[in-house]
Structure 1
Amino acid sequence: MELPEDFIESIKNQNELVATQHDQAAAMLYRLMFRHEKDLNILDHYADTIFDGIFGFGGDFAEEDYRNYIQYIKCINSKEAEWYQKQLDEELKKQEDDVLEDN
């Protein structure tokens, strides 16, 4: 069964939009870190988008960007950084397990 061209085009456009949103979130997060923002609620607003992008359409650098965010948090609050690292490790493990199950 072949999908209609307009459907395929709409999916491509949606993927581009999501990738752009992730790029904008990463740019804003780096800007905030450069300015030494310490409010984790503000930082998390952008970091959550990047985190979701690791497992979706976040681009090639989403995981690297999120790891850089964790490094930054270590400077602010090392206990919090441990929690963020644990969350990332758990999600990466789940993703790895899902891939193994599919094969």
Structure 2
Amino acid sequence: MNNQQDESTSIWNINFRFLYSVFIMAVGYGYWLMSSREWFFFYVLAIGCAIAGTAYFLVTLKLLFQRIRMDSKAEAFRTKGTTAKGDKLPGPEDLRKRGLLR
């Protein structure tokens, strides 16, 4: 699994969700401008688009904060602890002291 590819996909996904929510709200604003007493249903469409766009925007904010929290936890886990160190191999003098070599 390629972590870099998953990361960029997630970032693109969040960005496009933000753009889509702004687009929905812009369509609602357009409906609001077109509405009048004769075309009252455009008010309903405008309010519906405003509610839907705002809800989608808030869901995307929630995803963004989850992503930030996940990245910070992963970074903290990555920096936790020290680098692995190998044990010192015994040399000939250490083996002679312990009586394993003559």
Query: TM (normalized to structure 1)?
Result: 0.44
Identify the structure with bigger relative contact order (alpha carbons < 8 Å, sequence gap 6+). 2
Q: Which structure has the bigger radius of gyration?
A: 2
